[in-house]
Amino acid sequence: MAPYRILSLDGGGIRGLLTAIILERLETAVPGWLDRADLLAGTSTGGIIALGLAHGLSPADLRALYEKKGRDIFDDTWWDDIVDIGKLAGADYDNRNLAKLLKNIFGNTRLRDLKKKVLIPAFDLDNENPNASKRSWAPKFFHNFPGQDSDGDERTVKVALYTSAAPTYFPSVDGYIDGGVVANNPGMATLAQSQDARAMRNPPGLDEIALLSIGTGQSLVRIEGKDLDWGYAQWAKPLIDIMMDGVGGVSDYQCRQILGDRYCRISPIFKPNRTIPLDAVNKIPELAAFAEKVDISGAVRWLRQSWN
């Protein structure tokens, strides 16, 4: 029996360029493997890539998007810094350029119009439930599977903006923020979705699933000191990165334990003392050069053995 094939893509801002280049290289090595994917999942920048692939864009198209338009997305003007009192109030960037770019790509398409099934995490800051005992914030996983909980009517542009609204970097959108706060690596979420009998008439067994997970590069970051007596000001910025890296590692562990050799993870590690932040558009050439040298031989072998 053919496997149920899942591609899962991490968040990481401009580091999505690394993902796009790795996908491009894998497609060259194993032509047509992407066409056989049953489910495309992605968080934040990975969500934009997943939606782009499901819309019909190629990895080369997505690579060009990052290389040519990345600086426009993370465009911080002097006026914005004044309004935001430097970086003390307000997001680092507005999302108007990103929204315009996404509109040019997706137009008015809705999730139901996409050529592939997708799963896109976001986080709802207020579910606005009329029942006060149920009103709260909560994770939200947008998908275009059939069923009563389908999000097929949602506009693709909006979902892309929801999943990529990283706290402190971009403002929230319609009450949603970046899915990276709960599932920066959405691999485990894809396994849960694949087992949903409401959306899948015949859910695949876990032994029938092949899952390829691609990260956006790991920086060897650390916080030295054994007894940190920090408050809000000290924890605010690193806490975002800690949460996103931490939840990604949990998902990797869970998927590896559940799927064994039916799971493959590509998660390149940057050189020591080399950090590439989510908005490091000045490092696009360096990031592209790094991506071209990532060893994908293991993933190529895995695709040939497990994806067909």
Task: Return left, alpha or beta for 136; rule: phi > 0 is left, psi -120 to 50 is alpha, else beta.
Answer: beta
Q: Is the torsion defined by CA of 16, 35, 193, 155 positive or negative?
A: positive
Compute the chain's Rg from CA coordinates. Answer: 19
Whether residue 44 lies in the annotated active site: yes
User: Which backbone phi and psi does 41 adopt, to 5 degrees?
Assistant: -125, 145
Q: What is the pLDDT along the chain (308 residues), one digit of tens a residue?
A: 569 999 999 999 999 999 999 999 999 999 999 999 999 999 999 999 999 999 999 999 999 999 999 999 887 644 454 444 445 446 688 899 999 999 999 999 999 999 999 999 999 999 999 999 999 999 999 999 998 899 999 999 999 999 999 888 899 999 999 999 889 999 999 999 999 988 888 899 999 999 999 999 887 777 778 887 888 777 777 776 776 666 778 899 999 999 999 999 999 998 887 888 889 899 999 999 999 999 999 999 999 999 98
Q: 155 has which bridge partners?
A: 110
User: Which backbone phi and psi does 177 adopt, to 5 degrees?
Assistant: -125, 175
Give the active site residue among 10, 178, 252, 279: 178
> In terms of Cα–Cα distance, which of 279, 213, 270 is closest to 70?
279
Give the active site residue among 44, 172, 194, 213: 44
Please tell me the distance from the alpha carbon of residue 178 to that of residue 122, in angstroms, as a whole number.
5
Q: Is 120 in contact with 42 (CB distance < 8 Å)?
A: yes
Please tell me the distance from the alpha carbon of residue 141 to that of residue 160, in angstroms, as a whole number.
12
Whether residue 261 lies in the annotated active site: no
Q: What are the structure tokens assigned to 121, written together?
A: 């995490």
| Residue partners of 215: CB distance under 8 A and separation at least 6 | 10, 12, 19, 185, 248, 265, 266, 267, 268
